[in-house]
Structure 1
Amino acid sequence: MLPFKPKYLAAALAGIMLASSLPAHAAEPSQSELLKELRRLSERMEKLEARNAELERKAQITPATSEAELAQRVKALEENNARMETALDSERLSDEDPEVISRLKDIEFRTLSMQKQARMIESLEGVTAGASLTMVAQSANKTAVAAGSAGSALNYRGDVSVTLPGGEIGNAAGRIFAQFRLGQGNGLALNNTLSSTPNSTAFSLTNPDDSSAMLAQAWYQLDVPLPLGGHKPNSREHLEINFGKMDPFVFFDQNTAADDESVKFLNNAFVHNPLLDSGGDAGVDAYGFTPGVRIAYHNETQKPEWWRASMGVFGAGKGAGYDHSFSAPFVIGQLEFGRKFLGGLDGTYRLYAWRNGQSIAFQNEFDSTIERHSGVGASIDQRIGDATTIFGRYGKNLSGKVRFDQALTLGAEFGGNYWNRSADAIGVALGWLRTSKNFRDNSATMDADADGNPDFGYTATGAEQLAEIYYRTRLNKNLELTPDFQLIRHPGGDQSAASAKVLGLRAKVSF
């Protein structure tokens, strides 16, 4: 019997064949050596067979084990999905929610919050608002104060304005402007100063002891790009159309250096053209507003230089009411030119003419005759330095009985850059208002009115002369304080009258 299993015969035969294939000159192995080698090969084959059997057993067991694990994993996933679906059905966050659901809900809440803010921003796009509170305290020398009036006065005025989108018509875009005003205090009352008011911020409805609000302005503006049907971003010309209740001086007789009594000059003669405002030819109501319509053509084809032509028709008459305001309205036309001079410094030059069909002769209680007034004027502001702007206004009466028929005001504002206070400014202005010949001829002979008010009691012979200086200092981005001093010589054209000296302090808070 062979010392190895028959099934390994092939291996043995292979060994014999290997041995027989050796070269002839090699030494032939002995029979014992061959048997030893065959046993070694037989042992290796047995090990290989055992390993092969083990691998076969594992191959038979592994699929069953994998199927069981797979079923367990599928079950766990289904349970986890069910928990996530349950958590997703609730909008609230819970400690029991899976972590991924908690994160998903957090992202969803943040996204919804951002969308809400975006919708709010979108709804407020184009909406602007502003609010301010101005308070003025003034004191004047006793000889300048009207009989029965106090030598000092305090008043405040609040303004709230909002601008809203007004829709579109093709390429034309509209906007709505509204302003509410309230206040208390009538300000100082000075002798004979029929041509100037030392405190233009004074505002009070009927009873000075009451503080009431009113709708000061409410108007609509439509901006129409030109040419019609053209590409709006490339437009360098447009029409502006306004209608509603408005302040005519928002659109006419503007001036960069002298146009806002809450920030710059307080005396009304420096805020607007004295013939139009102090003289009453603008035809506005007691608070400075009137219904009207305006159309303007704006041309920027030579930008940065530009020009604009505008025409306005406003209600006139005593109180500028809505009943008969337009039977003989206040009409004004203006040409504006924006130019750069002195090395590229901005300047604006305005020329205008007006006619009021319902003016009152001498604009006082002694003569209430309705007549037609007309005149021409100019308003100029020009920067002459990095922080210096000069201004000038001129007005001339062409028809009608007026107290003064010519007015000239000049001045300048110097920015605080020169003394390292860039937000501060100093303003200086001078004014000259010449009394008319008709007023000079009749001032001393006017009779008392039906209510027994005294006549003027003097003969007007010259011009009223004005001067004002202020220093505006900014304490923070919302608060400004402005000490102010005014001098009024020959008030009302009375050469013998004492000069009025008015010292004031203005505080303004704006948002």
Structure 2
Amino acid sequence: MTPIRHALVAALIAAPTAGHAAQPTQAELVRMVERLAKRVESLEHRNAELESRLAGTPAPADTGLTARVEALESANERLAGEGGHGGSLLDGIEVEGNVVGVLQGASGSGNDEVVTNWRGDVGIALPAGTIGRSTGSFYVQLRAGQAEGPSALPPTFTGTVNTASFQQVDTPSSNANAIVAQAFYQLDTPLGAEGTESKSHLQLTVGKQDPFVFFDQNAVADNEVEKFMNNVFVHNPMLDSGGAIGADDYGFTPGVRVAYTNEHDAASPWGVSAAVYGTQDGATFGRSFTTPLYIGQVDLGSRAGGKEGTYRLYAWHNGRYEGFDGSKDKNVGFGISIDQQITESLTLFGRYGHTLSGKVSFDRALTLGGELAGTGWGREDDGLGFAWGWLRSARDFRRAAVADYGHEARGAEQVAELYYRYAVNEQLALSPDLQLIHRPGADPDADSIYTFGVRALYGF
């Protein structure tokens, strides 16, 4: 019996007790139930026919709307899919940068000043496809800034006491300015049997570069926004402060570099590299590479005992070096850059530079120092840096010093720097910095120069 029939029978059986009005006889009730049962059966049969028809007849479709929805869903799947252009547009792109601000005061020979400056750098690495087994990439660095470090100091051998400053030539310090610092293409080729993890690579770099990214590197002394600010501790003094690198006013130049790295022995990786860079007018795309800078380097790594270290030996030939007297001649020299971890917290560095030709103001340079990480006092991201430098005056400079600079030059200029980097958090650091320049310009009678500053760094 269907649910409808159950309900009707129950209602009829209960009807005689619903009130005290005149009630039908038993025979009349039986006839009423029979008539209702037949009516219900007819209705159920009709209902079954309607359901059957509805089940067999497809609903009308809005073909236009359906097509549009399907097209949108398909497009969305392509954009969100792993192989779609929308989902992979940013794949492989790496962006990093920093902004540094410096407040620095300087005192020397009665010239006292306090200056401020800021500088920002953004580096963008872009994938540039593959050529066979080789992988290409394109790197762009943008630099902006405002104002320089102290400028009223007596003449010194060091290029600047604040390498973290940036100011375009012929632009007043009241104006912020920006340049495209680097823009180069790099192709990395793994060597060895295909299908195996390569332990050696060949690398080609073409474009506008910072030569010190690839030569004279140092784990302790090569980053002016985090570590030492005096230029003699950022790079080899012969190349940078002495001018042998021949780059433009901001340290960049077009060139071609080739490098080979070998890590078959994980404890002693090594590599060789060589490059040709534009110098003087060639560094600013003003002329061809008729008198370029040639530079080559050998890298020897050491990981013995879990202590990282790298030993670099390099030599250069600048065909158009500008001497201290304005003369143009070749400059030939060699240098050494070493960094070696001594303990878990202490890493030391050393650099030596030696010039063989050219009208240089100093012909020998030695810098030594290190950084002590703050693990010993519960501040593992902090660092205490210390360095000392010795820049020996060249014979030609000593001969010309009285007539050209008004003082007798003897011996060497000595430089010292001390900083403490306090990590506020993972992205922000504050660094008090103290510097001393003794016998500036190798003048034994000159007052020493002192600088004190605070550097704030935000990195991302």
Gap change, CA 1:306 and 1:82, over 3 Å in 2:
same
Q: Is the 8 A contact 1:171 1:232 kept in 2?
A: no
The SS at the match of 2:402 is coil
Aligned to 1:41: none
Aligned to 1:348: 310
Instruction: Find out whether 1:170 has 2:165 as its counterpart.
Output: no
Instruction: Find out whether 1:127 has 2:76 as its counterpart.
Output: no
Aligned to 1:185: 147
Instruction: Find out whether 1:493 has 2:442 as its counterpart.
Output: yes
Aligned to 1:159: 121
Instruction: Find out whether 1:388 has 2:349 as its counterpart.
Output: no
1:2-31 residue CA offsets vs partner (Å, 9 max, x unmatched)? xxxxxxxxxxxxxxxxxxxxxxxxxxxxxx
1:39-59 residue CA offsets vs partner (Å, 9 max, x unmatched)? xxxxxxxxxxxxxxxxxxxxx
- Alignment partners' CA distance in 1, 2:75 and 2:49: 36
Q: Where does structure 1 lack aligned partners over 5 or more consecutive residues?
A: 1-60, 93-104, 447-455
Match of 1:338 among 292, 301, 305: 301
Q: Is the 8 A contact 1:425 1:473 kept in 2?
A: yes
- Alignment partners' CA distance in 2, 1:397 and 1:494: 21
- Alignment partners' CA distance in 2, 1:254 and 1:434: 22
Q: Is the 8 A contact 2:82 2:88 kept in 1?
A: no
TM-score of the superposed pair, with normalisation by structure 2: 0.84
> Which residues of 2 match residues 57-136 of structure 1 at below 5 A?
70-77=48-55, 81-82=59-60, 88=66, 91=69, 114-115=80-81, 119-136=85-102
Aligned to 2:177: 212
TM-score of the superposed pair, with normalisation by structure 1: 0.76
Aligned to 2:379: 421
Aligned to 2:334: 376
- Alignment partners' CA distance in 2, 1:128 and 1:320: 27
Q: Once the 2 structures are TM-superposed, how far is the Cα of residue 317 of structure 1 from its aligned partner? A: 2.1
- Alignment partners' CA distance in 2, 1:483 and 1:242: 37
The SS at the match of 1:72 is helix
Gap change, CA 1:419 and 1:80, over 3 Å in 2:
farther
Matched-pair identity in %: 42
Instruction: Find out whether 1:361 has 2:361 as its counterpart.
Output: no
The SS at the match of 2:441 is helix
Match of 1:472 among 421, 442, 446: 421
Aligned to 2:236: 273
Q: Where does structure 2 lack aligned partners over 5 or more consecutive residues?
A: 1-39
The SS at the match of 2:266 is coil
Q: Once the 2 structures are TM-superposed, how far is the Cα of residue 122 of structure 1 from its aligned partner? A: 2.1
Match of 1:143 among 87, 109, 117: 109
State the superposition RMSD in angstroms. Answer: 2.8
Amino acid corresponding to residue 401 of structure 1 in structure 2: K
Gap change, CA 1:116 and 1:167, over 3 Å in 2:
closer
Q: Once the 2 structures are TM-superposed, how far is the Cα of residue 169 of structure 1 from its aligned partner? A: 0.5
> Which residues of 2 match residues 218-367 of structure 1 at below 5 A?
218-227=183-192, 230-231=193-194, 233-318=196-281, 320-341=283-304, 343-362=305-324, 367=325
The SS at the match of 1:287 is coil
Q: Once the 2 structures are TM-superposed, how far is the Cα of residue 233 of structure 1 from its aligned partner? A: 4.2
Q: Once the 2 structures are TM-superposed, how far is the Cα of residue 360 of structure 1 from its aligned partner? A: 1.1
Q: Is the 8 A contact 1:225 1:232 kept in 2?
A: no
Q: Is the 8 A contact 2:108 2:447 kept in 1?
A: no
Amino acid corresponding to residue 421 of structure 2 in structure 1: R
Q: Once the 2 structures are TM-superposed, how far is the Cα of residue 109 of structure 1 from its aligned partner? A: 11
The SS at the match of 2:157 is coil
The SS at the match of 1:444 is helix
Aligned to 2:27: none
Aligned to 2:409: 460
Amino acid corresponding to residue 163 of structure 1 in structure 2: A
Match of 1:503 among 447, 452, 456: 452
Gap change, CA 1:109 and 1:331, over 3 Å in 2:
closer
Q: Once the 2 structures are TM-superposed, how far is the Cα of residue 76 of structure 1 from its aligned partner? A: 4.1
- Alignment partners' CA distance in 2, 1:78 and 1:501: 97
Gap change, CA 1:360 and 1:476, over 3 Å in 2:
same
Gap change, CA 1:81 and 1:373, over 3 Å in 2:
same
Gap change, CA 1:192 and 1:325, over 3 Å in 2:
farther
1:307-357 residue CA offsets vs partner (Å, 9 max, x unmatched)? 11000100012572323351110110000011113x221111100000100
Instruction: Find out whether 1:436 has 2:405 as its counterpart.
Output: no
Gap change, CA 1:85 and 1:76, over 3 Å in 2:
farther
- Alignment partners' CA distance in 1, 2:68 and 2:125: 42
- Alignment partners' CA distance in 1, 2:61 and 2:51: 15
- Alignment partners' CA distance in 2, 1:321 and 1:196: 20
User: Could you tell which deviates more after superposition, 82-91 or 212-221?
Assistant: 82-91
Q: Is the 8 A contact 1:311 1:334 kept in 2?
A: yes
Q: Is the 8 A contact 1:293 1:314 kept in 2?
A: yes
- Alignment partners' CA distance in 1, 2:318 and 2:376: 44
Q: Once the 2 structures are TM-superposed, how far is the Cα of residue 202 of structure 1 from its aligned partner? A: 1.5
Q: Is the 8 A contact 1:180 1:214 kept in 2?
A: yes
Q: Once the 2 structures are TM-superposed, how far is the Cα of residue 126 of structure 1 from its aligned partner? A: 1.4
Q: Once the 2 structures are TM-superposed, how far is the Cα of residue 138 of structure 1 from its aligned partner? A: 0.5
The SS at the match of 1:234 is coil
Gap change, CA 1:71 and 1:427, over 3 Å in 2:
farther
Task: Give 1 or 2 for the bigger CA radius of gyration.
Answer: 1
> Which residues of 2 match residues 9-88 of structure 1 at below 5 A?
70-77=48-55, 81-82=59-60, 88=66
Q: Is the 8 A contact 2:227 2:385 kept in 1?
A: yes
- Alignment partners' CA distance in 2, 1:110 and 1:72: 41
The SS at the match of 2:403 is coil
More strand by share: 2
Q: Is the 8 A contact 2:108 2:448 kept in 1?
A: no
Amino acid corresponding to residue 428 of structure 1 in structure 2: F
Aligned to 2:20: none
Q: Is the 8 A contact 1:182 1:211 kept in 2?
A: yes
The SS at the match of 2:425 is coil
- Alignment partners' CA distance in 2, 1:221 and 1:232: 22
